[in-house]
Amino acid sequence: MALGALLAPLLRPGDVVPLWGGFGAGKTTFTQGVGRALGVHQPVVSPSYGLVHEYHGGPGRPVLYHLDLYRLESAEEAAAIGIEHILGGDGVALIEWPAVIEKLLPHERLDVHLELLPDGARSVGFVATGGRYIDLLAAYAQLMDE
């Protein structure tokens, strides 16, 4: 949650953040941290059955789109529900189980890799692709050092 909250102030409309990891890795918890830091007051929960939850935070903060694509079977199915309008749109998109739409994901993005380790700890890694996200990740690393 703290890592998500630290990232939130750096995010802006149009940002796409795929969250990679298995069950229990912390994808929803990471998103909850982002939501809390964006000023979202309602509970941020996994949208497994609704596929997409839209959260509005504080004034001047981007809309948070939380997608859980576990139940989708293809990128075409995702396209049919209008996912391309969310990616790079007016808000920030955090996407659980992004593999199904990998070919629809923008090349430039910030991938977050979460893993639940055997001892119960979690490993978190970031991969930035594109100038915007390389700069974002550098700023994030600086915040972590403070």
Say which residue, 76 or 131, is predicted with more confidence: 131
CATH hierarchy code of domain 2-22+34-145: 3.40.50.300
Say which residue, 125 or 58, is predicted with more confidence: 125
**93 within 8 A of 17, measured Cβ to Cβ:** yes
Domain range list for the chain: 2-22+34-145
Tell me the per-residue pLDDT of 41-85, one tens digit each, with 9 for 90 and over. Answer: 998 987 666 788 999 998 889 999 999 999 888 888 888 878 888
pTM of the model: 0.93
The span from the CA of 112 to the CA of 42, in Å, is 24
DSSP per residue, 6-18: HHGGG--TT-EEE
